[in-house]
Amino acid sequence: MVSTTTNSGLHEYVAEHVLSRFARPGLRAADLGSGPGAMAVRLQSLGCDVIAVDRTMQGFEPDLPHYVIDFNKNEFAGALGLHAFGIVTAIEVIEHVESPIGFLRNIRNILAPTGVAVITTPNVDSLPARLKFLLAGKIRTMDENGEPTHISPIFFDLLKRQFLPIAGLHLQQHLLFPPDGFQLSRKSVAWSMRLAASVFSAESIMGDNHIFVLQAGT
């Protein structure tokens, strides 16, 4: 089993609830921000013809094609192949890039016309995140105690209304992980947060991670 640095269970949830619906033998897939290669291996196990892409090969474990690309470059899509991939995954990547819209536009450009992109990112719309911002004026997972390369928080409403239309993508499905609670909070806190969140009807109030299933806009 290839190691992963993401939240425990996130890869498995994405594979079971999203990728299993779209993957098929021989479908070309690109895993962006591949890290050690856990998601690339999952795509391969589903029969896809996979390439892995990241800014370095350091720590990459599988015997799969690997491209070294800086996602902050304006037009990295051309180096991978325009409209070439039926599945594109980017698991906990977009929050690390300087231009989320630019990153999404490049994903649009490598997607085949009927392809899907699966993107996950920390849920800064969740109840714990909203309370942290209310009480401390800081964004959860992106403050001085969070991952120092988290520089671009993705807010769901802004993504839907602005980022995706500008990038030429549309949202096919939105999932949250965990779907009914919180994993990053202490158990005692997570229980109370889950109970409190059940009172609100706001979007994205649950879960530590967004999962976006995207397709090229028409």
- Residue-wise pLDDT for 97-116, tens only, equals 999 999 999 999 999 999 99
**For residue 91, what are the contacts with CB-CB under 8 A and spacing of at least 6?**
6, 10, 11, 14, 31, 33, 39, 118, 119, 120
> Does residue 57 or residue 111 have the better pLDDT?
111
Per-residue confidence band for 217, with pLDDT thresholds at 50, 70 and 90? confident
The Cα–Cα gap between 182 and 96 comes to 22
Span 132-158, average pLDDT: 94
Q: Which of 69-78, 92-101, 137-146, 174-183 has the lowest mean pLDDT?
A: 174-183
Tens of pLDDT, residue by residue over 1-48, are: 554 556 689 999 999 999 999 999 999 999 999 999 999 999 999 999
Partnered with residue 119 across adjacent β-strands are 90, 212
Which pLDDT score is estimated for 203? 81
Which pLDDT score is estimated for 3? 47
Q: Residue 38 belongs to what H/E stretch?
A: helix 38-45
The Cα–Cα gap between 156 and 177 comes to 14
CA 44 to chain centre: 18
Is 80 exceeded by the pLDDT of residue 159? Answer: yes
Q: Rounded mean pLDDT of the chain?
A: 91
**Domain 10-216 grouped into CATH 3.30.70.870:** no
The DSSP call for residue 74 is T
pTM: 0.92
CB 156 within 8 A of CB 100: no
